[in-house]
């Protein structure tokens, strides 16, 4: 079995066995990237157009994944998610309280999930990753605090809009 991205929903999902790290934890998010829709369509190794696939339900958890296994996500995680308000959630994972927020991929972009059959042994080795799907939103979780613009991932997504404004011409800016 290989490493897969952190996706949750639709019952059985891979990459569920997690060790909870201390407060200075390292994020292991969806192993996904934001891809510019204008570049073209995204195809998987079988030639299937992933740009037209149904959005998966994804959760970015504040932990490392040390296993590649199945988990009954609907029963053991999804059913315990509670709404705090319209956009914030609370839950727990392995006894640790979580606060979550639904995050949208910036307009004009799409998120892409990948699968890696075998992680390379060295950094110099070529990696083979395969696109498995696309998404437009995901739930971002923190330990015991509501996600905000101060979180690295959320502020990185804000840079997409800032970079676009910085690199646009004056005509593009005034016509928007």
pLDDT tens-digit readout, 130-172 = 887 888 899 999 998 899 999 998 888 888 888 888 988 876 6
> CB within 8 A of 121, min separation 6: which ones?
none
Q: Name the one residue in this structure whose structure tokens are 């504040």.
A: 62
What digits encode the pLDDT tens for the residues 59-118?
888 887 677 777 788 888 888 999 999 889 999 988 899 999 999 988 888 888 887 777
What value does the mean pLDDT of the chain take?
72
CA proximity to 95, closest of 12, 35, 20, 15: 20
Beta bridge partners of 70: 14
Q: Are 100 and 148 in contact (CB under 8 A)?
A: no
**pTM passes above 0.85:** no
What is the distance of C-alpha 92 from the center of its chain?
18
d(CA 118, CA 42): 22
**Domains of the chain listed by start with CATH number:** 3-148 (2.40.128.680)
pLDDT of residue 13: 37
Q: Which two tokens stand for residue 7?
A: 């996706």
Q: Are 17 and 67 in contact (CB under 8 A)?
A: yes
């Amino acid at each position: 079995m290989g490493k897969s991205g952190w996706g949750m929903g639709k019952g059985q999902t891979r990459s569920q066995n997690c060790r909870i790290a201390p407060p200075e934890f390292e994020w292991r998010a969806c192993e996904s990237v934001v891809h510019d829709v204008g570049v073209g369509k995204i195809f998987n190794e079988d030639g299937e157009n992933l740009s037209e696939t149904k959005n998966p339900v994804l959760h970015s958890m504040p932990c490392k994944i040390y296993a590649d296994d199945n988990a009954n996500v609907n029963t053991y995680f999804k059913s315990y998610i509670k709404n705090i308000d319209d956009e914030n959630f609370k839950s727990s994972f392995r006894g640790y309280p979580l606060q979550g927020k639904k995050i949208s991929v910036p307009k004009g972009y799409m998120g892409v999930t990948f699968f890696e059959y075998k992680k390379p042994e060295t950094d110099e080795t070529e990696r083979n990753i395969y696109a498995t799907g696309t998404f437009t939103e995901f739930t971002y979780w923190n330990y015991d605090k509501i996600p905000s613009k101060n979180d690295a991932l959320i502020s990185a997504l804000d840079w997409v809009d800032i970079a676009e404004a910085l690199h646009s011409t004056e005509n593009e800016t005034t016509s928007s």
